[in-house]
Chain A
Amino acid sequence: MSTVKLTVNGKAVAVDVEDRTLLVQLLRDHLNLTGTHVGCDTSQCGACVVHMDGRAVKSCTMLAGQADGASITTIEGIAKGDELHPMQAAFRDNHGLQCGYCTPGMIMSAIDIVHRHGGQLDEATVRTELEGNICRCTGYHNIVKAVLDAAGRMKVSQAAE
């Protein structure tokens, strides 16, 4: 057992876990943040993507101990109170989710994509960059539309800040 200290969605937490605990298990089983999903559990589907120090990583492919000292943001941490994050709003408006299982990972990856590419985002780039996130409803068309829509909204909201 070890105590892992990290910041999750802005709050400092210290959790006693077995050393073999994965970051996704710490989030879901110990902190009850079940918005982050386990899909394939083999590092391929991206349902478990969270942000660690601002970068989109697969929380099923990290030990909790590797995140010690890091700042983690999950799907639960991106809205401002009742106001959805622009990426969440764009997914809703563009019908970017069907069953919703892949959605938390899609949104966390998509925010990272917009951060990296800023205004230079086109459809081909979004499709390439989303290759680590699998939607088994195969609803990619509206997911891509949502990401492109959100990229515009995120630029506007950044400019306003």
Chain B
Amino acid sequence: MYQTTYHRASSVDEAASLFAKGSESKFLAGGQTLLPVMKQRLASPSDVIDLGKIKELQGVELSGDTLTIKAATIYYDIMTNADVKKAIPAIAYLTSVLGDPAVRYRGTIGGSIANNDPAADFPAALLALGATVKTNKRSISAEDFFQGLFTTALEDGEIITAVSFPVPAKAGYEKMRHPASRFALTGVFVAQTKSGEVRVAATGASQSGVMRVPAIEAALKANWSPSAIDGVSISASGLLADIHGTAEYRANLIKVMAQRAVAAAR
């Protein structure tokens, strides 16, 4: 790892001003991606601003039909939170199959979505549930937030403070886990909103990162059941292909994971 200067921020405002002082600053949340990347010398921030101990970025709130998870809440605290389990059990489940136990003690929801890895789990949940990303400057819809591989709407120095999820009527998530990295080879999050809208998002599949799957949404809108997806055809065009799976394999995984997610939805 190259030399860097570490700062621990005690508030969001302090973090923003520390960030502005560095020549090439980076925010550090759980560090489960940023630190490995720095160790590989693929990132060499002049200054690392630690958001992990900021109290206003911790915790979960359930208020009416909105579940809000603060940005620096670690995965373990999300998966064991009673409000998360009650309001959107699919999020508790998603978090329980993310990484491994040691990673879940450090990684945060804000870090996951700020990085926007094309195979990360949380982007699929945000997109399918129609979540809103809150920052220290504004609110951004999930649709506008995710902008392709490792790219988001965040401006330089902007800090995610929380994610607000509308509580759905039903939701489910299933993924084919990569056995070594535990990222999603393909993962699908399905949701039926309280107004009856059906939203489906796939991660790990597209060359442009997390995406909606309109064909499956239409099939589930007509008939919310795994068998409704049997006849849907998913094009392999634009899907990821690597040594772990071809684009055609991932196209099929989108269907299979969507069917499993519908079967698991509650």
Q: How far is the CB of A74 from chain B (nearest CB, A)?
A: 14
Are B101 and A109 within 8 A (Cβ)?
Answer: yes
Q: Is the C-beta of B105 less than 8 angstroms from some C-beta in chain A? A: yes
Among A18-67, those with CB < 8 Å from B are: 18-20, 22, 41-44, 46, 49, 55-58, 61-63, 65-66
Q: How far is the CB of A132 from chain B (nearest CB, A)?
A: 3
Q: Is the C-beta of B137 less than 8 angstroms from some C-beta in chain A? A: no
Q: Do A57 and B106 form a contact, CB below 8 Å, given A43-B32, A109-B101, A113-B101?
A: yes
Chain A residue at smallest Cβ distance from B104:
A132
Give the residues in chain B near A57, CB-CB below 8 Å.
102, 105-106
Are B102 and A46 within 8 A (Cβ)?
Answer: yes
Q: Is the C-beta of B50 less than 8 angstroms from some C-beta in chain A? A: yes
Q: How far is the CB of B130 from chain A (nearest CB, A)?
A: 32
Bound-complex Cα distance A57 to B105 (A): 7
Q: Is the C-beta of B3 less than 8 angstroms from some C-beta in chain A? A: yes
Are A65 and B32 within 8 A (Cβ)?
Answer: no
Which of B4-12, B65-73, B193-201 lies at the interface? B4-12
Q: Is the C-beta of A149 less than 8 angstroms from some C-beta in chain B? A: no
Bound-complex Cα distance A113 to B104 (A): 13
Q: Is the C-beta of A83 less than 8 angstroms from some C-beta in chain B? A: no
Are A44 and B180 within 8 A (Cβ)?
Answer: yes
Are A61 and B32 within 8 A (Cβ)?
Answer: yes
Are B52 and A56 within 8 A (Cβ)?
Answer: no
Are A62 and B31 within 8 A (Cβ)?
Answer: yes
Are A68 and B8 within 8 A (Cβ)?
Answer: yes
Partner of B102, one of A19, A42, A109: A109
Give the residues in chain A near B102, CB-CB below 8 Å.
46, 49, 56-58, 109, 132
Give the residues in chain B near A68, CB-CB below 8 Å.
8
Chain A residue at smallest Cβ distance from B99:
A132
Among B205-240, those with CB < 8 Å from A are: none
Q: Is the C-beta of A16 less than 8 angstroms from some C-beta in chain B? A: no
Bound-complex Cα distance A129 to B76 (A): 13
Contact with A along B24-46 (1 / 0, CB 8 A): 00001001100110110000000
Interface hub of A18, A55, A58, A61 (most chain B Cβ within 10 A): A61
Q: Is the C-beta of B260 less than 8 angstroms from some C-beta in chain A? A: no
Are B100 and A46 within 8 A (Cβ)?
Answer: yes
Q: Is the C-beta of B2 less than 8 angstroms from some C-beta in chain A? A: yes
Spell out B's residues near A (CB within 8 Å). 1-6, 8, 28, 31-32, 35-36, 38-39, 48, 50, 52, 76, 99-103, 105-106, 180-182
With A62-B106, A132-B101 given, name 16 new contacts (CB 8 A).
Answer: A19-B6, A20-B38, A22-B1, A55-B76, A55-B105, A57-B105, A58-B102, A61-B36, A63-B28, A63-B35, A66-B50, A112-B101, A129-B101, A131-B101, A132-B99, A132-B103
Question: Please, could you name 17 A-B residue pairs with CB atoms under 8 Å apart, sorted by A?
Answer: A18-B3, A20-B4, A22-B35, A22-B39, A43-B32, A43-B36, A44-B181, A55-B76, A55-B105, A57-B102, A62-B35, A63-B6, A65-B6, A65-B8, A68-B8, A109-B101, A132-B103
Closest 4 CB pairs of A and B: A132-B100, A19-B6, A65-B6, A20-B1
